[in-house]
Amino acid sequence: MSNSWRFISTIAKKEIIEFIRDWRTLLALIVIPLLIFPALFIALPLLLQSEAAELDAMELDIVWQGDLNDELEISFNESNLIISYEEIPSDISNLSDIGSDIDRIRNQEALAVFRLLENDSGWKFSVLYISTSEASNEARSRIIDSIIDWESNVVNGTLVEAGLDPDSTLDPVRWDGNWENADAATKGEQAGLALSLFIPMVIAIWTASSAIQPSIDMTAGERERGTLEALLCLPCSRLQLLAGKWLAVASITSAGVALQIGGLLFAITYLASSSVIGIPSVSMLSMALLLGAVVIFAIMVVAFELALAMKAHSVKEAGSLLGPAILFIIFPALFTQVINLDTVESWWFAIPLVN
Protein backbone atom coordinates (compact mmCIF):
# COMPACT_ATOMS: atom_id res chain seq x y z
CA MET A 1 0.00 0.00 0.00
CA SER A 2 2.82 2.40 0.92
CA ASN A 3 4.67 1.57 -2.29
CA SER A 4 1.53 2.21 -4.34
CA TRP A 5 0.96 5.56 -2.62
CA ARG A 6 4.61 6.48 -3.27
CA PHE A 7 4.13 5.95 -7.00
CA ILE A 8 0.85 7.90 -7.04
CA SER A 9 2.23 10.86 -5.07
CA THR A 10 5.42 10.99 -7.15
CA ILE A 11 3.44 11.06 -10.40
CA ALA A 12 1.12 13.72 -8.98
CA LYS A 13 4.05 15.94 -7.91
CA LYS A 14 5.68 15.55 -11.31
CA GLU A 15 2.45 16.49 -13.13
CA ILE A 16 1.81 19.51 -10.89
CA ILE A 17 5.36 20.86 -11.32
CA GLU A 18 5.18 20.53 -15.09
CA PHE A 19 1.76 22.13 -15.25
CA ILE A 20 2.61 25.25 -13.20
CA ARG A 21 5.86 26.06 -15.00
CA ASP A 22 4.06 28.38 -17.42
CA TRP A 23 3.31 31.86 -15.99
CA ARG A 24 0.00 31.91 -17.86
CA THR A 25 -1.03 28.80 -15.97
CA LEU A 26 -0.19 30.49 -12.66
CA LEU A 27 -2.19 33.52 -13.76
CA ALA A 28 -5.24 31.38 -14.48
CA LEU A 29 -4.72 29.27 -11.35
CA ILE A 30 -4.03 31.98 -8.74
CA VAL A 31 -4.82 35.51 -9.92
CA ILE A 32 -8.18 34.91 -11.61
CA PRO A 33 -9.71 32.85 -8.76
CA LEU A 34 -8.57 35.45 -6.23
CA LEU A 35 -10.00 38.38 -8.18
CA ILE A 36 -13.22 36.97 -9.65
CA PHE A 37 -15.43 37.49 -6.58
CA PRO A 38 -13.88 40.81 -5.43
CA ALA A 39 -14.38 42.09 -8.97
CA LEU A 40 -17.97 40.84 -8.95
CA PHE A 41 -18.93 42.12 -5.51
CA ILE A 42 -16.81 45.29 -5.25
CA ALA A 43 -15.88 46.60 -8.70
CA LEU A 44 -19.26 45.90 -10.32
CA PRO A 45 -21.37 47.75 -7.68
CA LEU A 46 -18.96 50.69 -7.82
CA LEU A 47 -19.23 50.76 -11.61
CA LEU A 48 -23.02 50.58 -11.49
CA GLN A 49 -23.10 53.33 -8.86
CA SER A 50 -20.87 55.52 -11.01
CA GLU A 51 -23.01 54.93 -14.10
CA ALA A 52 -26.20 55.70 -12.13
CA ALA A 53 -24.71 58.94 -10.80
CA GLU A 54 -23.63 59.93 -14.31
CA LEU A 55 -27.12 59.20 -15.63
CA ASP A 56 -28.76 61.23 -12.86
CA ALA A 57 -26.58 64.24 -13.70
CA MET A 58 -27.41 64.17 -17.43
CA GLU A 59 -29.57 66.88 -18.94
CA LEU A 60 -32.15 65.19 -21.15
CA ASP A 61 -33.96 66.79 -24.08
CA ILE A 62 -37.71 66.20 -24.22
CA VAL A 63 -40.63 67.64 -26.18
CA TRP A 64 -43.74 68.98 -24.42
CA GLN A 65 -46.87 68.87 -26.56
CA GLY A 66 -50.25 70.29 -25.59
CA ASP A 67 -51.41 72.29 -22.58
CA LEU A 68 -48.99 73.81 -20.08
CA ASN A 69 -48.85 73.60 -16.30
CA ASP A 70 -46.53 75.85 -14.32
CA GLU A 71 -46.09 73.51 -11.35
CA LEU A 72 -45.23 70.57 -13.59
CA GLU A 73 -42.86 72.70 -15.66
CA ILE A 74 -40.94 73.72 -12.53
CA SER A 75 -40.66 70.06 -11.51
CA PHE A 76 -39.32 69.13 -14.96
CA ASN A 77 -36.69 71.85 -14.79
CA GLU A 78 -35.58 70.66 -11.35
CA SER A 79 -35.19 67.16 -12.83
CA ASN A 80 -32.68 68.37 -15.46
CA LEU A 81 -35.15 68.04 -18.32
CA ILE A 82 -34.58 70.44 -21.23
CA ILE A 83 -38.03 71.21 -22.67
CA SER A 84 -39.06 72.13 -26.21
CA TYR A 85 -42.71 73.14 -26.65
CA GLU A 86 -44.96 72.08 -29.52
CA GLU A 87 -48.60 71.65 -30.37
CA ILE A 88 -50.23 68.23 -30.22
CA PRO A 89 -50.34 66.66 -33.72
CA SER A 90 -53.77 66.59 -35.29
CA ASP A 91 -53.36 63.17 -36.93
CA ILE A 92 -53.45 61.08 -33.73
CA SER A 93 -56.41 59.17 -32.30
CA ASN A 94 -55.28 59.44 -28.66
CA LEU A 95 -52.34 60.80 -26.70
CA SER A 96 -50.53 57.44 -26.75
CA ASP A 97 -50.63 57.27 -30.55
CA ILE A 98 -47.01 57.96 -31.57
CA GLY A 99 -47.95 59.01 -35.09
CA SER A 100 -45.33 61.04 -36.92
CA ASP A 101 -43.15 61.36 -33.79
CA ILE A 102 -41.92 57.79 -34.13
CA ASP A 103 -38.96 58.64 -36.36
CA ARG A 104 -37.42 61.30 -34.14
CA ILE A 105 -37.91 59.15 -31.04
CA ARG A 106 -36.24 56.15 -32.69
CA ASN A 107 -33.43 58.43 -33.94
CA GLN A 108 -33.26 59.98 -30.45
CA GLU A 109 -33.67 63.50 -31.77
CA ALA A 110 -36.00 63.75 -28.77
CA LEU A 111 -35.47 61.33 -25.90
CA ALA A 112 -39.16 61.50 -24.94
CA VAL A 113 -42.34 63.29 -25.97
CA PHE A 114 -44.66 64.41 -23.18
CA ARG A 115 -48.27 65.09 -24.13
CA LEU A 116 -50.67 66.87 -21.76
CA LEU A 117 -54.29 67.80 -22.33
CA GLU A 118 -56.78 69.43 -19.93
CA ASN A 119 -60.53 68.89 -20.18
CA ASP A 120 -63.58 69.24 -17.95
CA SER A 121 -62.88 65.97 -16.11
CA GLY A 122 -59.22 66.70 -15.37
CA TRP A 123 -55.90 66.09 -17.09
CA LYS A 124 -54.78 63.45 -19.59
CA PHE A 125 -51.19 62.69 -20.46
CA SER A 126 -48.89 60.21 -22.16
CA VAL A 127 -45.13 59.78 -22.48
CA LEU A 128 -43.70 58.57 -25.79
CA TYR A 129 -40.28 56.94 -25.53
CA ILE A 130 -38.17 54.04 -26.81
CA SER A 131 -37.64 51.30 -24.23
CA THR A 132 -34.35 50.08 -25.72
CA SER A 133 -32.62 53.39 -24.95
CA GLU A 134 -31.32 53.93 -21.43
CA ALA A 135 -31.46 57.71 -21.79
CA SER A 136 -35.03 57.57 -23.10
CA ASN A 137 -36.04 55.34 -20.19
CA GLU A 138 -34.43 57.77 -17.77
CA ALA A 139 -36.31 60.71 -19.34
CA ARG A 140 -39.59 58.81 -19.04
CA SER A 141 -38.81 57.90 -15.42
CA ARG A 142 -38.15 61.54 -14.50
CA ILE A 143 -41.37 62.64 -16.20
CA ILE A 144 -43.44 59.98 -14.41
CA ASP A 145 -41.90 60.88 -11.03
CA SER A 146 -42.73 64.55 -11.55
CA ILE A 147 -46.30 63.70 -12.57
CA ILE A 148 -46.76 61.52 -9.47
CA ASP A 149 -45.63 64.37 -7.22
CA TRP A 150 -47.84 66.84 -9.08
CA GLU A 151 -50.85 64.53 -8.90
CA SER A 152 -50.28 64.03 -5.17
CA ASN A 153 -50.21 67.79 -4.63
CA VAL A 154 -53.40 68.25 -6.66
CA VAL A 155 -55.24 65.52 -4.72
CA ASN A 156 -54.05 66.78 -1.34
CA GLY A 157 -55.05 70.33 -2.22
CA THR A 158 -58.51 69.19 -3.28
CA LEU A 159 -58.99 67.27 -0.02
CA VAL A 160 -57.83 70.19 2.09
CA GLU A 161 -60.27 72.50 0.30
CA ALA A 162 -63.04 70.00 1.11
CA GLY A 163 -62.05 70.02 4.79
CA LEU A 164 -60.58 66.47 4.77
CA ASP A 165 -57.27 65.21 6.10
CA PRO A 166 -55.23 63.79 3.17
CA ASP A 167 -53.40 61.20 5.30
CA SER A 168 -56.47 59.65 6.92
CA THR A 169 -58.51 59.87 3.72
CA LEU A 170 -55.99 58.39 1.27
CA ASP A 171 -54.30 56.00 3.70
CA PRO A 172 -56.96 54.66 6.08
CA VAL A 173 -55.11 51.35 6.64
CA ARG A 174 -51.53 51.78 7.83
CA TRP A 175 -48.62 49.62 8.89
CA ASP A 176 -47.84 50.30 12.53
CA GLY A 177 -44.13 50.68 13.26
CA ASN A 178 -41.15 49.81 11.08
CA TRP A 179 -41.87 46.93 8.70
CA GLU A 180 -38.22 45.83 8.78
CA ASN A 181 -38.53 45.09 12.51
CA ALA A 182 -41.30 42.56 11.77
CA ASP A 183 -38.85 40.20 10.02
CA ALA A 184 -37.53 37.49 12.34
CA ALA A 185 -34.49 36.89 10.09
CA THR A 186 -31.30 38.77 10.88
CA LYS A 187 -29.47 40.82 8.26
CA GLY A 188 -26.79 38.14 8.17
CA GLU A 189 -29.38 35.46 7.41
CA GLN A 190 -30.91 37.64 4.70
CA ALA A 191 -27.47 38.13 3.17
CA GLY A 192 -26.83 34.39 3.42
CA LEU A 193 -30.03 33.63 1.53
CA ALA A 194 -29.12 36.06 -1.25
CA LEU A 195 -25.59 34.71 -1.54
CA SER A 196 -26.75 31.08 -1.48
CA LEU A 197 -28.79 31.61 -4.64
CA PHE A 198 -25.78 31.93 -6.93
CA ILE A 199 -22.55 31.15 -5.05
CA PRO A 200 -22.96 27.34 -5.33
CA MET A 201 -23.63 27.71 -9.05
CA VAL A 202 -20.53 29.86 -9.56
CA ILE A 203 -18.36 27.46 -7.55
CA ALA A 204 -19.73 24.47 -9.46
CA ILE A 205 -19.09 26.08 -12.84
CA TRP A 206 -15.62 27.26 -11.84
CA THR A 207 -14.68 23.83 -10.44
CA ALA A 208 -15.74 22.13 -13.66
CA SER A 209 -14.08 24.67 -15.96
CA SER A 210 -10.80 24.88 -14.02
CA ALA A 211 -10.34 21.11 -14.27
CA ILE A 212 -10.60 21.06 -18.07
CA GLN A 213 -7.18 22.45 -18.97
CA PRO A 214 -5.07 20.28 -16.63
CA SER A 215 -7.12 17.21 -17.58
CA ILE A 216 -6.38 17.78 -21.27
CA ASP A 217 -2.74 18.72 -20.71
CA MET A 218 -1.96 15.62 -18.63
CA THR A 219 -3.63 13.15 -20.99
CA ALA A 220 -4.16 14.10 -24.63
CA GLY A 221 -1.45 16.77 -24.37
CA GLU A 222 1.16 14.26 -23.21
CA ARG A 223 0.05 11.84 -25.91
CA GLU A 224 0.70 14.50 -28.58
CA ARG A 225 4.05 15.52 -27.06
CA GLY A 226 5.13 11.88 -26.82
CA THR A 227 5.80 11.99 -23.06
CA LEU A 228 2.99 9.61 -22.12
CA GLU A 229 4.97 6.64 -23.41
CA ALA A 230 7.80 7.45 -21.00
CA LEU A 231 5.36 7.39 -18.09
CA LEU A 232 4.02 4.03 -19.23
CA CYS A 233 7.55 2.61 -18.88
CA LEU A 234 7.60 3.36 -15.15
CA PRO A 235 7.45 0.36 -12.78
CA CYS A 236 3.86 1.09 -11.79
CA SER A 237 0.46 -0.06 -12.91
CA ARG A 238 -1.74 1.94 -15.26
CA LEU A 239 -4.22 2.38 -12.43
CA GLN A 240 -1.52 3.98 -10.28
CA LEU A 241 -0.54 6.22 -13.20
CA LEU A 242 -4.13 7.32 -13.71
CA ALA A 243 -4.61 7.81 -9.96
CA GLY A 244 -1.52 10.04 -9.86
CA LYS A 245 -2.83 12.17 -12.70
CA TRP A 246 -6.23 12.33 -11.00
CA LEU A 247 -4.59 13.46 -7.74
CA ALA A 248 -2.66 16.16 -9.61
CA VAL A 249 -5.74 17.54 -11.38
CA ALA A 250 -7.79 17.35 -8.17
CA SER A 251 -5.07 19.24 -6.26
CA ILE A 252 -4.86 21.97 -8.90
CA THR A 253 -8.64 22.31 -9.06
CA SER A 254 -8.99 22.33 -5.26
CA ALA A 255 -6.34 25.05 -4.99
CA GLY A 256 -8.23 27.19 -7.50
CA VAL A 257 -11.53 26.67 -5.67
CA ALA A 258 -9.90 27.43 -2.30
CA LEU A 259 -8.50 30.69 -3.64
CA GLN A 260 -11.88 31.51 -5.13
CA ILE A 261 -13.61 30.96 -1.77
CA GLY A 262 -10.91 33.11 -0.15
CA GLY A 263 -11.68 35.93 -2.57
CA LEU A 264 -15.37 35.44 -1.84
CA LEU A 265 -14.83 35.76 1.92
CA PHE A 266 -12.76 38.90 1.37
CA ALA A 267 -15.49 40.44 -0.78
CA ILE A 268 -18.20 39.59 1.76
CA THR A 269 -16.09 41.03 4.59
CA TYR A 270 -15.55 44.22 2.60
CA LEU A 271 -19.24 44.64 1.85
CA ALA A 272 -20.16 43.90 5.46
CA SER A 273 -17.69 46.52 6.72
CA SER A 274 -19.31 49.12 4.46
CA SER A 275 -22.80 48.14 5.74
CA VAL A 276 -23.92 47.08 2.27
CA ILE A 277 -24.95 43.64 3.54
CA GLY A 278 -24.97 41.86 6.87
CA ILE A 279 -22.38 39.25 7.77
CA PRO A 280 -23.85 35.78 7.18
CA SER A 281 -23.68 33.68 10.32
CA VAL A 282 -21.97 30.39 9.36
CA SER A 283 -21.11 27.74 11.93
CA MET A 284 -17.98 25.59 11.81
CA LEU A 285 -20.16 22.58 11.00
CA SER A 286 -21.66 24.42 8.02
CA MET A 287 -18.21 25.40 6.77
CA ALA A 288 -17.01 21.80 7.12
CA LEU A 289 -20.05 20.53 5.23
CA LEU A 290 -19.50 23.13 2.49
CA LEU A 291 -15.83 22.19 2.17
CA GLY A 292 -16.70 18.50 2.11
CA ALA A 293 -19.35 19.03 -0.56
CA VAL A 294 -16.94 21.01 -2.74
CA VAL A 295 -14.19 18.40 -2.36
CA ILE A 296 -16.52 15.50 -3.20
CA PHE A 297 -17.87 17.46 -6.15
CA ALA A 298 -14.33 18.19 -7.36
CA ILE A 299 -13.41 14.49 -7.05
CA MET A 300 -16.38 13.50 -9.21
CA VAL A 301 -15.85 16.23 -11.82
CA VAL A 302 -12.11 15.60 -12.12
CA ALA A 303 -12.65 11.85 -12.54
CA PHE A 304 -15.29 12.45 -15.21
CA GLU A 305 -13.24 14.98 -17.19
CA LEU A 306 -10.01 13.02 -16.85
CA ALA A 307 -11.71 9.90 -18.21
CA LEU A 308 -13.03 11.80 -21.24
CA ALA A 309 -9.68 13.45 -21.89
CA MET A 310 -7.84 10.11 -21.61
CA LYS A 311 -10.06 8.58 -24.28
CA ALA A 312 -9.35 11.46 -26.70
CA HIS A 313 -6.64 11.00 -29.33
CA SER A 314 -5.65 14.67 -29.56
CA VAL A 315 -5.90 17.95 -27.68
CA LYS A 316 -8.42 19.22 -30.21
CA GLU A 317 -10.64 16.18 -29.73
CA ALA A 318 -10.37 16.46 -25.94
CA GLY A 319 -11.35 20.12 -26.08
CA SER A 320 -14.36 19.36 -28.25
CA LEU A 321 -15.45 16.71 -25.74
CA LEU A 322 -14.93 18.67 -22.52
CA GLY A 323 -16.11 22.07 -23.78
CA PRO A 324 -19.79 21.12 -24.06
CA ALA A 325 -19.50 19.25 -20.76
CA ILE A 326 -19.84 22.60 -18.98
CA LEU A 327 -23.46 22.67 -20.13
CA PHE A 328 -24.09 19.57 -18.00
CA ILE A 329 -22.91 21.65 -15.03
CA ILE A 330 -24.88 24.81 -15.82
CA PHE A 331 -28.32 23.29 -16.40
CA PRO A 332 -28.52 21.29 -13.13
CA ALA A 333 -27.12 24.30 -11.28
CA LEU A 334 -29.93 26.44 -12.68
CA PHE A 335 -32.50 23.99 -11.31
CA THR A 336 -31.35 24.79 -7.78
CA GLN A 337 -32.57 28.37 -8.21
CA VAL A 338 -36.22 27.25 -8.23
CA ILE A 339 -36.10 24.54 -5.54
CA ASN A 340 -37.98 25.43 -2.35
CA LEU A 341 -35.44 24.73 0.38
CA ASP A 342 -38.09 24.80 3.12
CA THR A 343 -39.76 21.67 1.76
CA VAL A 344 -36.94 20.17 -0.31
CA GLU A 345 -37.33 16.44 -0.98
CA SER A 346 -34.55 14.06 0.00
CA TRP A 347 -34.18 12.65 -3.52
CA TRP A 348 -32.77 15.98 -4.76
CA PHE A 349 -29.59 15.19 -2.81
CA ALA A 350 -29.10 11.98 -4.81
CA ILE A 351 -28.86 13.85 -8.13
CA PRO A 352 -25.27 14.62 -9.17
CA LEU A 353 -24.41 18.31 -9.60
CA VAL A 354 -27.75 19.39 -8.13
CA ASN A 355 -26.82 18.08 -4.70
Please state the domain extents for the chain: 2-50+187-350, 58-174
- Cβ atoms within 10 Å of 105's Cβ, excluding its own: 19
Per CATH, the number for 58-174 is 3.40.190
Q: State the pLDDT at residue 126.
A: 94
Sheet holding 81-86, edge to edge: 81-86, 60-66, 112-119, 122-128
Segment 131-136 shows an average pLDDT of 91
Residue with more model confidence, 269 or 165: 165
Segment 105-117 shows an average pLDDT of 92
Highest mean pLDDT among 35-39, 202-206, 229-233, 301-305: 301-305
Distance, CA of 19 to CA of 318 (rounded, Å): 17
Q: State the pLDDT at residue 87.
A: 92
Segment 47-73 shows an average pLDDT of 87
CB of 37 within 8 A of CB of 203? no
Highest mean pLDDT among 21-30, 271-280, 315-324: 315-324
Weakest mean pLDDT among 178-182, 231-235, 293-297: 231-235
Under the banding of pLDDT at 50, 70 and 90, the label for residue 273 is low
Q: What is the pLDDT of residues 229-256, one digit of tens each?
A: 676 677 777 787 788 888 888 888 877 7
Q: State the pLDDT at residue 279.
A: 60
- pTM (2 decimals)? 0.65
Residue 113: strand pairing partners:
63, 128
Segment 25-52 shows an average pLDDT of 75
Segment 146-152 shows an average pLDDT of 92
The whole-angstrom distance between residue 229's C-alpha and the CA centroid of its chain comes to 45
Under the banding of pLDDT at 50, 70 and 90, the label for residue 53 is confident
